[in-house]
């Protein structure tokens, strides 16, 4: 550690922090804009958010916004991508014993509950903008299709599903995703202490969906 002192105060001078590259500063500022927008969207639709409002909340002048996003629409799509990364992380965390449906159901619902409670702003944004129309709704629909595709690949690991057609695996994945999205909305709107009932119902819904798997003749 340096022994230099500030002659004005006779206090030791701390060693300088590791320099931050221009690219790192740019990425950090971009993330601040995303975080600020998400915070401002906690209880309102994206369409009501202005560029000036986001820039001010991030401590920037409005013109600085354009160094990171070409438009508010581009920022919105970036928020969609960030939120759906949370969904993909969720499905990776839920992977369990491929030989038991019950294990998959319990792990999936437990993981869903944990991720929703830890990322409520992301899930609120996704569920609110999903039916708002326009580019954001299209981006969310595209990301949900990718999410469903990832789930279909996971489902193919189960012995009883290995002979299913790709089309039927995607159909089953879409049904499961629908249950998960319904559960997300219910958790976000839950009364205090209502989570256990919601997750219990979610497990029943998933069991009901999977009940027909052994009897389905895949084309």
Give domain limits for the chain: 14-69, 72-215
Class for the domain spanning 14-69: mainly alpha
Residue by residue, DSSP assigns the chain as ----EETTTTEEPPPPPPPPPHHHHHHHHHHHHHHHHHHHTTTS-GGG--HHHHHHHTT--HHHHTTT-SSHHHHHHHHHHHHHHHHHHHHHHT---TT-HHHHHHHHHHHHHHHHHH-HHHHHHHHHHTTS-HHHHHHHHHHHHHHHHHHHHHHTTSGGGTTS-HHHHHHHHHHHHHHHHHHHHHHHTPPTT-HHHHHHHHHHHHHHHHHTGGG----
Per-residue pLDDT of the chain (219 residues; tens, 9 = 90+): 445 544 445 455 555 556 778 888 889 999 999 999 999 999 899 999 999 999 999 999 999 999 999 999 999 999 999 888 877 777 666 655 545 556 778 888 988 999 899 999 999 999 999 999 889 999 999 999 998 998 898 888 888 888 999 999 999 999 999 999 999 999 999 999 999 999 999 999 999 998 888 889 887
CATH architecture of residue range(s) 72-215: Orthogonal Bundle (1.10)
């Amino acid at each position: 550690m340096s022994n230099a002192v500030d002659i004005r105060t006779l206090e030791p001078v701390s060693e300088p922090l590791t320099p931050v590259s221009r690219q790192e500063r740019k990425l950090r500022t971009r993330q601040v804009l995303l975080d600020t927008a998400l915070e401002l969207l906690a209880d309102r639709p994206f369409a009501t958010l202005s560029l000036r409002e986001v820039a001010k909340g991030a401590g920037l002048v409005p013109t600085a916004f354009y160094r990171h996003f070409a438009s508010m629409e581009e920022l919105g799509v970036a928020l969609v991508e960030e939120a759906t990364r949370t969904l993909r992380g969720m499905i990776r965390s839920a992977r369990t014993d491929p030989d038991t449906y019950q294990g998959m159901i319990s792990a999936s619902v437990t993981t869903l509950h944990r991720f929703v409670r830890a990322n409520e702003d992301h899930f609120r944004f996704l569920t609110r903008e999903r039916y708002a129309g326009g580019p954001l709704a299209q981006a969310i629909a595209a990301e949900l299709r990718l999410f469903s595709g990832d789930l279909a690949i996971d489902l193919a690991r189960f012995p009883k599903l290995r002979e299913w057609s790709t089309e039927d695996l995607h159909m089953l994945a879409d049904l499961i995703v629908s249950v998960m999205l319904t559960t997300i909305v219910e958790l976000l709107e839950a009364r205090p202490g209502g989570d256990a009932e919601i997750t219990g119902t979610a497990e029943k819904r998933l069991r009901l969906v999977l009940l027909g798997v052994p009897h389905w003749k895949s084309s």
